[in-house]
Structure 1
């Protein structure tokens, strides 16, 4: 059935460790603007998947300029975030009391949008791959497939964001945050480098 096929394919693409998931996890652990963050991620996926079903994927694959802009812009964004995470992890003295205060909602949402739309692979996964797979289901099945894919996105991001709020006791010690930020810095640097090399 297209609905379940869309869900299964989408969830298999989303659960891979990546910059967006690491950001959602960190926000959940901080219990900071979790609902806006998971909604931003899930609604963005819904928009991108719908765009793919409507044919945007074919246009993107023909525009090397658009892919290059996303590639280099995304890599720069990830390197910057990696540097900030490394600073938090390896230079605790540089962290000011203001760093422990909740970040502004606007700043968090803009960062989340950056992780979503500055990653060229999100376009390949959602717009190109899921869009083309949906369109193989024909006129009647393509939107059911898309609905399944969108449902997977909502399920994953809400589960990741809100389940991670239950793990805050594990991160009561600064050492745990240093470990997490070190892992985030490594993930972001690896993804940015891989993005430039592919």
Structure 2
């Protein structure tokens, strides 16, 4: 019974640790709010999106969706538009301890979190190709335990990222490091956008 739990934990941790647009954005929002509760919209949205993708992957539904080239193209294009706007917003964002600055609204957090979670082809393929495939070796209770383990890792990781971001925000009284973080976050998102452009070209050709 412990095997599927440990397997799911280590697998999900390995997939979620690498630096990507989703992780950067959650960390960024933790740093840009006075309290961690201000980043709850992005934490909850990212957690729910990962849960949704994991469940789809384990049920096998996502494999059917991603086998349709037209659907892939639509996801890529919508995702690219969101990411470009997000990169621009992050580049121009300033920390909330500077004058005349309002933290990113809950609505905006949710919109960006949805785009970097559900419209990120690489995150989708990781979930389908790795978690979905790994889950297929289990049945019944073991599969349920494996699924729960991977989902729990996602939620705990996003909470931890926001807390770490908040710690950076607390230490950075001048806002200098937060501004650098925002610029860095924007560059990461642009890199992800360029990868999506390459995927779109590959689909067309």
TM-score range, shorter chain: 0.7 to 0.9
Taking the aligned partners of 1:110 and 1:75, their CA distance within structure 2 comes to 13
Q: Which runs of 5+ in 1 are unaligned?
A: 90-94
**What does residue 72 of structure 2 align with?**
67
Q: Does 1:14 align with 2:16?
A: yes
Q: How does 1:45-60 map to 2 (within 5 A)?
A: 45-60=50-65
Asked if structure 2 preserves the Cα contact closer than 8 Å seen for 1:85 and 1:184, the reply is yes
**What does residue 101 of structure 1 align with?**
102
Asked if structure 1 preserves the Cα contact closer than 8 Å seen for 2:86 and 2:186, the reply is yes
State the shift of 1:6 in Å. Answer: 0.8
Taking the aligned partners of 2:32 and 2:89, their CA distance within structure 1 comes to 16
State the shift of 1:101 in Å. Answer: 1.6
Taking the aligned partners of 1:104 and 1:72, their CA distance within structure 2 comes to 25
Q: Does 1:29 align with 2:34?
A: no
Taking the aligned partners of 2:130 and 2:65, their CA distance within structure 1 comes to 12
User: Structure 2-normalised TM-score?
Assistant: 0.83
**What does residue 40 of structure 1 align with?**
45
**What does residue 85 of structure 2 align with?**
80
Q: Which runs of 5+ in 2 are unaligned?
A: 200-205
State the shift of 1:5 in Å. Answer: 0.5
User: Structure 1-normalised TM-score?
Assistant: 0.86
Cα offsets for 1:19-71 (capped at 9, x unmatched): 11111111101226222321211122112111111111320232111211112
State the shift of 1:128 in Å. Answer: 4.0
Taking the aligned partners of 1:190 and 1:135, their CA distance within structure 2 comes to 33
SS of equivalent residue, structure 1 residue 102: coil
Taking the aligned partners of 2:15 and 2:167, their CA distance within structure 1 comes to 25
**What does residue 146 of structure 1 align with?**
147
State the shift of 1:188 in Å. Answer: 0.9
Aligned residues, how many? 191
Asked if structure 2 preserves the Cα contact closer than 8 Å seen for 1:38 and 1:158, the reply is yes
Against the structure 1 CA distance between its residues 134 and 157, is the aligned structure 2 distance closer, same or farther, given a 3 Å change threshold? same
**What does residue 119 of structure 1 align with?**
120
Q: How does 1:170-181 map to 2 (within 5 A)?
A: 170-181=171-182
